[in-house]
Amino acid sequence: DEFISSPPRKTVRFGGTLTDILLKYEKGETMDFELLKHQLSDPDIKDVQIINWLHEFRASVAYLTKELEQLVSILLKLPWLRRSQEVVEEYLGFLGNLVSAQTVHLRPCLQMIVSQFVPSRITIREDDVDISDSDDDDENLPENFNTCHRALQTVARYVPSTPQFLMPILVENFPFINKSERTLECYVHNLLRVTVYLPPLRLPILELIIEKLLKLDVSTPQQDIEDAEETANNSDSEEKSMEEGLFDMEEDEERKGNKVVSSCSERMAHPLAERLDILMTILFTYIKEVCHLDGKLDIKNTKDLYRDLVSVFDKLILPTHASCHVQYFMFYICSFKLGLAEAFLDHLWKKLHDPNNPSVIRQTAGSYIGSFLARAKFIPVVTVKACLDLLVNWMHKYIDNQDTGANACCDVALHGPFYSTCQAVFYTLIFRHKQLLDGNLRKGLSYLQSLNFERIVMCQLNPLKICIPSVVNLFAAITRKYQLVFCYTIIERNNRQFIPVVRSGTGGHLVQTCTNPLDSFFPFDPYMLKRSKKTIDPFYQFWEELSAEDLENLKKPIKKGTYEDEDDDFLKGETPQNDGVVGIASNSYESNIQSPVSSIGSPPGCYVPYPQ
């Protein structure tokens, strides 16, 4: 039966060799040539036929000049990936011969390979309408992708200039963000695989991926993600209450149901956040695998990748305002080794204090320093102190240069980097003051007093007026408790001088709004993507919800002379885990606990939330 059903093994079906057909075509005889194209385009073409044709084409690539690009196009559309191993091997051999003999066909070959980096398209019929969609359930995808990368490596081996022709094609073929999650996942994963065997493309590929992730990130503000999760949770609760008690499920059905619930709980309710979560997980996995060999950190690979990621950070992340998640690739790679974290802080410091950099870049660098020092568990106290010394000394020198001149006024446009640095220092102190004072209270207080916060707070530039109120209030409470500086007189004076900003509401009413003069944000605010946050959480310092006892302690200054005798419960709190927020009123020191609405940043309306 197999013999009867298989086509006869002859070179061409219509007589003559492939070379004869191509030579006849050159002379204007097109009939055999058209029949050849028709046979190659046949959707029911057999494996044996493909092998026979490819074998002949491999020996005739010298004839496949630019004039025959239509024929080459048909050959590149052959369904070779989902065929027998013999077809695959013959096709890879053909590609190698083609690009080595006729580099004019390099770009179409690369285009064909890259087009296979995503699941193939299939037609689904719904309500008498044909809908094209990606075949996300194709079980052969991993094997197909492996073959595609073999093909790309084959081409690159024959044509050294492959990388420069490949990169524009990778950019052009990047799927739109509204494509299926599986399509985006496959494409990004395959791009990262390319960097392994084509190292010159690693930096541009990382730039491409992170640029696309940034677009996803800024399209999904944190408040939108929280709202979507809250809506989904409320919907799930309603469904659960309706179904509760109606049926007694069998044990095996319950197990299945529980499994579904657990997998669904991993999904983000916001569709763009779900895509971003999947892609961030892939990026984190890539970073880990590149930096580790056999479970151990490879210093050379890690340093090389760090340099590439810092380059991408400077080009894309720093100029982007209020991204929520993508910047965590720097947080993650810095967690591998303290030297990387210190190098990153030094890099940010150079950005901050260089007057040749744009003010907005300097301010953003300040926000990154403060947020990184506050949130990264892997940064020890000695490094925090070194950074505080550097920042505070710069602030004092800045005050020396500015505090008596014509520019000695509270103006964000003139002194933006200074205010950003002040906020970074205040924010770091809020999160790290317990560790700075831990062990030896007298020594810790002596160190904090040496920073001379009083001069900074009292200077003509008036940083307490510009910094975010939530940071100012907590900084004021902590510095008052340890008698470092009394901020409340200045805060009350600033409040009296505050001129309300009004805008037209939807109904024509005037609505008072609060402003964030620095337009600042904290780039390492809590990470919200469910899957990828598992990678970040072990290294992340969460904000501690202050207990009633801690709030009382904040109101009671420590008496001098009792540094070593008294136990201070506020200093011996456990590792922060809760996400509550605290507001401390500037005039009465009274406190209230509120649920977090959003992270510190550019808050909507008048409500400014406290650190989470």
Report CA dihedral (352, 354, 359, 364) to the nearest 10 degrees.
-20
Q: What is the pLDDT of residue 589?
A: 31
Encoding tokens for residue 61? 């690539």
pLDDT digits (tens, 9 = 90+) for 115-162: 999 998 665 656 566 555 555 566 778 999 999 999 999 999 999 999
Give the confidence band of 266 by pLDDT, cuts at 50, 70, 90: confident
Q: pLDDT higher for 511 or 275?
A: 275
pLDDT digits (tens, 9 = 90+) for 355-396: 999 999 999 999 999 999 999 999 999 999 999 999 999 999
Q: 409-418, 462-471, 501-510, 544-553: which has the minimum mean pLDDT?
A: 501-510
Give the confidence band of 555 by pLDDT, cuts at 50, 70, 90: low
Q: 405-419, 449-463, 534-548, 553-567: which has the minimum mean pLDDT?
A: 553-567
CB 153 within 8 A of CB 166: no
Q: What is the pLDDT of residue 135?
A: 57
Average pLDDT over the chain reads 81
Give the confidence band of 201 by pLDDT, cuts at 50, 70, 90: very high
Residue 376 is given by DSSP the state: B
Encoding tokens for residue 147? 């073959």
CB 159 within 8 A of CB 100: yes
**Highest mean pLDDT (candidates 5-9, 44-48, 51-55, 211-215):** 211-215
Q: 99: exposed, middle or buried (C-beta count within 10 Å: 0-12, 13-18, 19+)?
A: buried
User: Distance between CA atoms of 308 and 306, rounded to whole angstroms?
Assistant: 5
Q: What is the pLDDT of residue 124?
A: 61
Pairing relation of β-strands 296-297 and 292-293? antiparallel
Please state the pTM of the whole predicted model: 0.82
Q: What is the pLDDT of residue 238?
A: 62
The C-alpha angle with vertex 477 and arms to 475 and 478, in degrees rounded to 5, equals: 65
Q: What is the pLDDT of residue 440?
A: 85
Whether 571 shows a pLDDT value over 80: the answer reads: no
pLDDT digits (tens, 9 = 90+) for 96-111: 999 999 999 999 999 9
Q: What is the pLDDT of residue 575?
A: 35
Distance, CA of 238 to chain centre: 33
Q: pLDDT higher for 265 or 60?
A: 60
Give the confidence band of 77 by pLDDT, cuts at 50, 70, 90: very high
Give the confidence band of 460 by pLDDT, cuts at 50, 70, 90: confident
Q: Give me the phi and psi of 582, to 5 degrees please.
A: -130, 135
Q: pLDDT higher for 590 or 516?
A: 516
Whether 5 shows a pLDDT value over 80: the answer reads: no
What distances in angstroms separate CA 25 from CA 20, 61, 76, 332, one per listed residue? 9, 15, 20, 60
Give the confidence band of 580 by pLDDT, cuts at 50, 70, 90: very low
Whether 283 shows a pLDDT value over 90: the answer reads: yes
Q: What is the pLDDT of residue 454?
A: 93
Whether 63 shows a pLDDT value over 80: the answer reads: yes
Give the confidence band of 512 by pLDDT, cuts at 50, 70, 90: very low
Q: What is the pLDDT of residue 177?
A: 87
Q: What is the pLDDT of residue 471?
A: 92
Which CB contacts under 8 angstroms, 24+ apart, belong to 31-38?
A: 33/71, 36/12, 36/71, 37/70, 37/71, 37/74
Q: How many CB atoms lie within 10 A of CB 357?
A: 17
User: Distance between CA atoms of 112 and 321, rounded to whole angstroms?
Assistant: 37
Q: 181: exposed, middle or buried (C-beta count within 10 Å: 0-12, 13-18, 19+)?
A: middle
Q: What is the pLDDT of residue 411?
A: 77
Give the confidence band of 544 by pLDDT, cuts at 50, 70, 90: confident
Residue % of the chain over a pLDDT of 70: 75
Q: Which residues make Cβ contacts (< 8 Å) with residue 297, sequence separation at least 6?
A: 291, 336, 337
Report CA dihedral (372, 374, 377, 382) to the nearest 10 degrees.
90
Q: pLDDT higher for 295 or 343?
A: 343
